[in-house]
Amino acid sequence: MEIPLTPTSSSNRRAGNSAGQPGNLSQERSRWGLLFVSPFFLLFAIFGLFPLLFSMVLSFSDWNGRGTINIIGLNNIDLLIHDPIFWQSMLNGLWIFVVYTPIQIMLSLGLAVVLNSKRVRGFRLFRTIIFMPYITNMVAAGFVFQLLMNTRSGLFNQILGVFSIQGVPWLDTPFMARISLVILVLWAWIGYHMIIMLAGLQTIPQDLNEAATVDGATALQVFFRITIPLMRPVILFSLVLSTIGSFNLFTELVSLFPGTAGSGPLNSTLTPGLYIFNQGFGNFRFGYASAVAYMYFIIVFVIVLIERRFLGRDNT
Amino acid sequence: MSKYLKIGLIVIVVLLLGSVAYAQDTLSGTITLWGWSYDSMSETGLIDAFEAEHPNVNVEIVVYPAGDTYQNLQLACSAGQGAPDVVQIENSNLAGFVALDGCLTDITDHVQPMLADFNAYKWSDAELDGRYYAVPWDSGPVVFYYRQDIFAQAGLPTDSASVSELVSTWDNYLTVCTTIMQTTGHTCFANSTATNNGRLFEIALWQQGLGYYDENGAVTVDSAENVATLEKLGEFWAAGVTSEAQPWTDSWYAELGGTGPDSTATLVEASWMGVFLKTWIAADIPGSWGVAYMPAFAEGQVRAANDGGSTLSIPAESDNKDAALAFIDFMLAQPQNQITQFAFNDFLPALETTYTDPIFSQPDAFFGDQTPRLIYLDVARQIPAANIYGRYYSLMNGHVATAIQQYSTGALSAQDALTQAADAIRTETELQ
């Protein structure tokens, strides 16, 4: 039997024809195609789909990670609705989302526009520098930020001290802890979003801008009337990613607030993602953790739907 | 040809004889250990000694910090595979794993004869329905660490006996703290407000024999005594003598090991803290720290509590349980080997048959030639039983820490904060 190594190549097509069985060609080709894509589906079924469904079953149980799974109906949902810490974690996520996302989108879009221009000297170097934090290990970065933001001896407060400004309790009060977290997340993720925006900008046909300029549009008008509308799908993508990211922060928290295992002062930085982990792996409440996961999924899903409604293509 | 045959036969006979000689020791194979303080065994040659005693056994240490040890053990127990042969578990987390059905090996028959040799309170977390699942390693007798240089600067006595007398109660402790603050500007101890982890509160409860629940499974987090205890800690916050440093962070180490104005004067913590001060946190300032008895909650009451302390267990999935058990026996139940470890790291053995060893009365140069080990020992003998650890410790500690944060930042009264925590614990656990 002949094994077609490259089913789409012309030599193979000819080989198939010469065999005189043109009907088999598409079948055989799709069989090989299925084989080639099957690793993904296989892995997804084991590591994606199965946990998803298993976790759904667990969300109706009080499983502690070992032994029989007792179904307890909607008890977890009842607990969840009356769990102030879960709702605080949702509010924390929302707070971070509301403060972080607009800054992130404006900054990354702004930087992308500036660095998209070939007139900026050394634009490649700047792109690299801005992207660098994204590939930096977050555990190490969090540790360094924790040192920088130390109230008594951190560099930030020492710099403020030079200007006789009183030290800021960066990591010690609920409000400042969230602000500091947003600073760290911005630092870490701005480069990634800037690259997405850059890719989006480069898909905008140059002649549109030129035509507008010929018609007498100023640079600002071009930006707001042409760039932004055309960038809508890209901005939406970036927005959805940061929405999910805000509620799902984990490594950033654990490395910036090690003393409270990521929860921060008065649980002010506890996100649903971290709460799920704490309930499951800290308190052995896998059933409850799964219920939290599904509730949190539904809420974030709704938020993303709303975002699509306002920014999606259908609405233009 | 026959020559080679003869040689071959001789070799076979020798091998057979050799295996007969080894057959006296039936243990073989590799045992894997998970945990974080095996250096007291590897650095002191105890692992080598064990391997020499059991030549067919090979010991492999996998170092995980406590949190990682628990998560990996949890996963291994859920998955039913991948567990090590021996695992280190702190008393605070032990009951949770004991309650995890079939996660740890039942070693009741083995430990029954040696129950009386160990600190009685150490067994309570290892036991469920009369069956035992772990062997105690070290105890965590809480003592009063103080900076002799700062005490001298504040015009206070610096010898251990006088300091013990000086801080006889938490009220007197507050007076001492205020004096230090006023005369030297140094904070008295670290007890952060918005990021409190509840450990000092637990120590203060433990010394009074209080806790989070009682024998009948009723939640006592918001009992009148607990509220009074939290309010006592509140007096220190109100007086402004504490620092905000969070335990096990860089600023905490700087406060404990530095000589600048930021350094802090005292620390109420278990004896295992001694080795951390000595070997790295305060290694640069030998002779500065001293050890005395922790304050009593009220005059004449107990001046002893426990914080932390570990045990060794054998996961049910281990396929080399006999060797694992021999290892645990060798390290924890043989007095001389416990003493060897104690000499290395000051983790006070839970094995009481070691307590007559001359090592306890040896002066310690790091603590200015005081004899802190005598204090550790005396405290260990007085630790009352308290229901703080247990199956739901991690969950309870989380809620209580939040309550302390709410109280210390002025968001709620001590009573309201603890009642809120107690209600949450009642909702989320079987405790009522």
Residue B20 has pLDDT above 80, yes or no: no
Instruction: Tell me, yes or no, whether B91 lies in a domain.
Output: yes
What gap in Å lies between CA B48 and CA B330, rounded to an integer?
A: 12
Taking the Cβ of residue A161 and every Cβ of chain B, the question of whether any pair is shorter than 8 Å is answered with no
Which of A152, A173, A279, A292 best tests the B interface by mutation, with the highest count of B CBs <10 A? A152
Kindly indicate the confidence band of residue B219, based on its pLDDT and cuts at 50, 70 and 90: very high
- Say if residue B150 is in the same domain as residue B51: no
Contact A169 B244 (CB under 8 A): yes
Tens digit of pLDDT for each residue in A113-160? 998 887 778 888 998 999 999 999 999 999 999 989 988 788 999 999
Tens digit of pLDDT for each residue in B90-141? 999 999 999 998 899 999 999 999 999 999 889 989 999 999 999 999 999 9
Residue B9 has pLDDT above 80, yes or no: no
Instruction: Choose among A249, A295, A213: nearest CA to A92.
Output: A249
Domain with B54 in it? 24-139+308-354
Instruction: Tell me, yes or no, whether B173 lies in a domain.
Output: yes
- Say if residue B120 is in the same domain as residue B197: no
Can you give the CATH number for the domain in which B237 is found?
A: 3.40.190.10
* pLDDT score recorded for residue B26: 83
Minimum Cα–Cα distance from A286: chain B residue = B78
* pLDDT score recorded for residue A51: 94
Instruction: Tell me, yes or no, whether B301 lies in a domain.
Output: yes
What gap in Å lies between CA B430 and CA A284, rounded to an integer?
A: 14
* pLDDT score recorded for residue B6: 65
Residue B10 has pLDDT above 80, yes or no: no
Contact B250 A146 (CB under 8 A): yes
Taking the Cβ of residue A75 and every Cβ of chain B, the question of whether any pair is shorter than 8 Å is answered with no
* pLDDT score recorded for residue B115: 95
User: Among A93-102, A120-129, B347-356, B401-410, where is mean pLDDT lowest?
Assistant: A120-129
Instruction: Tell me, yes or no, whether B8 lies in a domain.
Output: no
What gap in Å lies between CA B383 and CA B136, rounded to an integer?
A: 15
Q: What integer is the mean pLDDT of A40-58?
A: 94
Q: Looking at beta carbons, which residues of chain B come within 8 Å of A67?
A: 100-102
Domains defined for chain A, CATH in brackets: 10-58 (no CATH), 79-315 (1.10.3720.10)
- Say if residue B390 is in the same domain as residue B421: yes
Share of chain B above pLDDT 90, in %: 85
Taking the Cβ of residue A178 and every Cβ of chain B, the question of whether any pair is shorter than 8 Å is answered with no
- Say if residue B89 is in the same domain as residue B167: no
- Say if residue B415 is in the same domain as residue B394: yes
Residue B11 has pLDDT above 80, yes or no: no
Contact B192 A172 (CB under 8 A): yes
Helix spans in chain A (H): 10-18, 22-44, 50-58, 75-81, 84-116, 123-135, 138-148, 155-162, 174-201, 206-214, 219-222, 228-247, 251-256, 272-277, 286-311
Instruction: Choose among B267, B25, B284, B41: nearest CA to B146.
Output: B267
Q: What integer is the mean pLDDT of B239-247?
A: 93
ipTM above 0.85, yes or no: no
Share of chain A above pLDDT 90, in %: 67
Instruction: Tell me, yes or no, whether B347 lies in a domain.
Output: yes
Tens digit of pLDDT for each residue in A13-32? 444 444 445 556 677 778 88
Instruction: Choose among B266, B21, B277: nearest CA to B150.
Output: B266
- Say if residue B61 is in the same domain as residue B114: yes
Residues 384-403 on B with a CB inside 8 Å of A are 392, 394-395, 398, 401-402
Which of A82, A86, A284 best tests the B interface by mutation, with the highest count of B CBs <10 A? A284
Contact A259 B100 (CB under 8 A): no
Kindly indicate the confidence band of residue B61, based on its pLDDT and cuts at 50, 70 and 90: very high
- Say if residue B274 is in the same domain as residue B170: yes
Q: Looking at beta carbons, which residues of chain B come within 8 Å of A63?
A: none
Give yes or no for a contact between B306 and B273, defined as CB atoms under 8 angstroms apart: no
* pLDDT score recorded for residue A20: 47
Instruction: Tell me, yes or no, whether B361 lies in a domain.
Output: no
Residue A314 has pLDDT above 60, yes or no: no
Minimum Cα–Cα distance from B406: chain A residue = A266
Tens digit of pLDDT for each residue in A208-231? 888 998 999 988 898 899 899 999
Give yes or no for a contact between B222 and B415, defined as CB atoms under 8 angstroms apart: yes
Arithmetic mean of pLDDT over chain A: 88
Q: Looking at beta carbons, which residues of chain A come within 8 Å of B262?
A: 152-153
Contact A151 B244 (CB under 8 A): yes
- Say if residue B259 is in the same domain as residue B349: no
Instruction: Tell me, yes or no, whether B36 lies in a domain.
Output: yes
Instruction: Tell me, yes or no, whether B364 lies in a domain.
Output: no
Instruction: Choose among A24, A275, A265: nearest CA to B195.
Output: A265
DSSP B132: E
Taking the Cβ of residue A150 and every Cβ of chain B, the question of whether any pair is shorter than 8 Å is answered with yes
Tens digit of pLDDT for each residue in B311-369? 999 999 999 999 999 999 999 999 999 999 999 888 999 999 999 999 999 999 999 99
Tens digit of pLDDT for each residue in B142-200? 999 999 999 999 999 999 999 999 999 999 999 999 999 999 999 999 999 999 999 99
- Say if residue B178 is in the same domain as residue B122: no
Taking the Cβ of residue A209 and every Cβ of chain B, the question of whether any pair is shorter than 8 Å is answered with no
Contact A172 B195 (CB under 8 A): yes
Both tokens of A16, joined, read 């198939």
Residues 260-289 on A with a CB inside 8 Å of B are 260-261, 264-267, 278, 281-285, 288
- Say if residue B148 is in the same domain as residue B198: yes
Cβ-based contacts under 8 A for chains A and B: 90
* pLDDT score recorded for residue A209: 86
- Say if residue B155 is in the same domain as residue B59: no
Question: Roughly how many angstroms between the first and final C-alpha of chain B, as a whole number?
Answer: 84
- Say if residue B298 is in the same domain as residue B319: no
Contact A146 B102 (CB under 8 A): no
* pLDDT score recorded for residue B5: 62
Shortest CA gap B250–chain A (Å): 7
How many distinct structural domains can be found in chain B? 2
